[in-house]
A and B are shown apart, each in its own frame.
Chain A
Amino acid sequence: MKVENPRDKLLSNYEVLEHIHDIKRRQKRSASKHRSIQRTENLETILLELQGYLKGTPAAKQTPENIRNFLQELSVYELEKAEKLQLLNVAPGSEAALHSLIEECDQRFTGEEREHMVALVSQFLKPEMQSQ
């Protein structure tokens, strides 16, 4: 075994969850064709636990369109890639939570801008909040 690159790309929680769904779908399909598929315990365990975790995160309700629109709206602000990823994964519901994700939030953005960011999060990433 050789590690070529430990950090090739960053993945959002949504992409990981989507990949797990994809594996589950393929497993089901090959089971219906009566082909022998290998189900190893380790793989099943981690997929089950991870799926359980991710279902409780904002990623469970995100869609590719929502994410794309959100990032487009967000592009007016100068944010680091890691910060955008955090906004996607955590989907902060308040300014206080936003503070913890963005470094030196006070100096970089005005109060209105911060409010706008939280509003964008609730608009695109938390669709279930709107219906309530």
Chain B
Amino acid sequence: MFVLSKLSDLVRIEPSKFSKSTEEALEDEINAKYANKVVQDVGLCICLFDILEVGDGLIRHGDGSAYINTVFRLIVFRPFVGEVLVGWISSCSEEGIRVRMDFFDDIFIPKENLFEGCIFVPSEQAWVWRTEHDLYLDTNEKIRFKVEQDIFTDQSPQGPKNILAEEGNTGDENAQQQMLLQGGSAQNIAPPYSLVVSCQTYGMGLVTWWD
């Protein structure tokens, strides 16, 4: 579930923080920058694990801060494909099931990744696995699932050049603008890091079914 990722960065330490030891100041700055943030193709950063290398403090013209080249390792949430995790069902819809873990919410089970013979019951807002007994996948139940795919969405703002280039492709300006608006809002909603998971093999599904 968790990995150590090795990163290097130029860390800026303000003069007001010179009273701390270098190590403490670096730790605070690194945690402030990375904790609870997603780094593209790395994962969800939790916190600093250890500092491996500390360079000399450099100064820059017109700035009293020290800049230090640092190599460090972070604890990162990045489950591997095929890993089995446990979470809670946060909501069910016709498309599938949303699952949350306390610290990470962007987990989705599409309906095609559910057990064969699962149907959605709109009146109960739940998925039911029809076997000898009806097995309900209800909201707030503890569920075990397997990671199938991780998706990173770059959320850095698009430059004006990209937008202009896209506009040039079609003639109808209004339609294009609408598409841009829709596309823009859809991109804003897409989380930076999300997991597509499955629940269709022996041992998956609600924890209470199997243990």
Contact A42 B84, beta carbon cutoff 8 Å:
no
A94 and B46 alpha carbons, distance in the complex (Å): 31
CB < 8 Å neighbour of B83 from A6, A7, A82: A82
- Could you give, for residues 34-46 of chain B, a 1 whenever the CB lies within 8 Å of some chain A CB and a 0 otherwise? 0111010111001
A129 and B4 alpha carbons, distance in the complex (Å): 32
Chain A residues closer than 8 Å to B39, beta-carbon distance: 1, 3
A1-30: which residues lie under 8 A (CB-CB) from chain B? 1-13, 15-16, 19-20, 23
A94-119: which residues lie under 8 A (CB-CB) from chain B? 94, 96-101, 103
Q: Which of B122-130, B165-173, B182-190, B201-209 contacts A (4 or more CB under 8 A)?
A: B201-209
Contact B7 A3, beta carbon cutoff 8 Å:
yes
Q: Which of A45-53, A61-69, A70-78 contacts B (4 or more CB under 8 A)?
A: A45-53
Q: Whose C-beta in chain B lies nearest to the C-beta of A59? A: B1
Q: Which residues of B contact A (CB under 8 A)?
A: 1-9, 28, 31-32, 35-37, 39, 41-43, 46-47, 49, 71, 73, 75-76, 78, 80, 82-84, 86, 101-103, 144, 146, 201-204, 210-211
Contact B32 A93, beta carbon cutoff 8 Å:
no
CB < 8 Å neighbour of B3 from A4, A6, A96, A98: A6
Which of B35, B42, B76 has the most chain A CB within a 10 Å cutoff? B35
Contact A93 B211, beta carbon cutoff 8 Å:
yes
Contact B202 A40, beta carbon cutoff 8 Å:
no
A47 and B84 alpha carbons, distance in the complex (Å): 22
CB < 8 Å neighbour of A97 from B47, B78, B144: B144
Listed by A's residue number, 13 A-B pairs whose Cβ atoms lie within 8 Å are A2-B7, A5-B6, A9-B73, A12-B2, A19-B75, A38-B32, A40-B35, A43-B32, A43-B47, A45-B36, A52-B102, A92-B203, A96-B210
Contact B31 A40, beta carbon cutoff 8 Å:
yes
Q: Which residues of A contact B (CB under 8 A)?
A: 1-13, 15-16, 19-20, 23, 37-38, 40, 42-43, 45-47, 49-50, 52-53, 57, 82, 86, 89-90, 92-94, 96-101, 103
Question: Contacts A52-B102, A96-B203 given: A42-B36 contact, CB under 8 Å?
Answer: yes
Q: Which 7 A-B pairs have the closest CB atoms?
A: A100-B203, A49-B103, A53-B102, A46-B36, A43-B35, A42-B36, A93-B211
How close is A119's CB to chain B, nearest CB, in angstroms? 15
Chain B residues closer than 8 Å to A96, beta-carbon distance: 202-203, 210
CB < 8 Å neighbour of B211 from A8, A10, A97: A97
A1 and B101 alpha carbons, distance in the complex (Å): 28
Contact A90 B86, beta carbon cutoff 8 Å:
yes
Chain B residues closer than 8 Å to A15, beta-carbon distance: 2
A37 and B25 alpha carbons, distance in the complex (Å): 10
CB < 8 Å neighbour of A46 from B32, B47, B201, B202: B47
Q: Whose C-beta in chain B lies nearest to the C-beta of A16? A: B2
A89 and B79 alpha carbons, distance in the complex (Å): 12
Q: Whose C-beta in chain B lies nearest to the C-beta of A43? A: B35
Identify 4 new A-B residue pairs, CB closer than 8 A, beyond the known A13-B2, A42-B31: A42-B32, A42-B37, A47-B35, A100-B144
A20 and B1 alpha carbons, distance in the complex (Å): 15
How close is B193's CB to chain A, nearest CB, in angstroms? 13
A46 and B102 alpha carbons, distance in the complex (Å): 9
Q: Whose C-beta in chain A lies nearest to the C-beta of B37? A: A42
